[in-house]
Amino acid sequence: MTRLSVNINKIATLRNARGGNTPNLLKMATDAESFGAQGITVHPRPDERHITYKDVLNLKPLVTTEFNIEGNPKEDKFVKLVLETCPEQVTLVPDSVGQLTSNHGWDTITNRDYLTDIIAVFKAKGIRTSIFVDANEQMIEGAKYTGADRIELYTESFASGYAADKESAIAPFILAGKKANELGIGINAGHDLSLENLTYFAQNVPNLLEVSIGHALVADALYVGWENAIRMYRGCLEKKN
pLDDT digits (tens, 9 = 90+) for 213-241: 999 999 999 999 999 999 999 999 998 65
- Annotated active-site residue 210? The verdict is no
Tens of pLDDT, residues 135-163: 999 999 999 999 999 999 999 999 999 99
* Digit-coded pLDDT (tens) for 85-97: 999 999 999 976 5
pLDDT in tens, 166-175: 999 999 999 9
| Strands (E) located in 81-185 | 89-92, 128-133, 150-154
Domain parsing of the chain, residue ranges: 3-238
| Cβ partners under 8 Å of residue 225, min gap 6 | none
44-71: average pLDDT: 96
Using DSSP's 3-state secondary structure scheme, residue 187 falls into strand
Q: Name which of 184, 179, 139, 176 is nearest 158 in CA terms.
A: 176
Beta carbons of 41 and 68 less than 8 angstroms apart = yes
The catalytic position among 43, 50, 66, 152 is 43
Residue 215 to residue 192: CA distance in whole angstroms: 7
Give tens-digit pLDDT for 171-187.
Answer: 999 999 999 999 999 99
Architecture of the domain made up of 3-238: Alpha-Beta Barrel (3.20)
Could you tell me whether strands 39-42 and 208-213 are parallel, antiparallel, or unpaired per DSSP bridges? unpaired
**The one catalytic residue among 33, 50, 152, 191:** 191
The residue annotated as part of the active site, out of 33, 50, 66, 70, is 70
pTM across the whole model:
0.94
Q: Is 227 a catalytic residue?
A: no
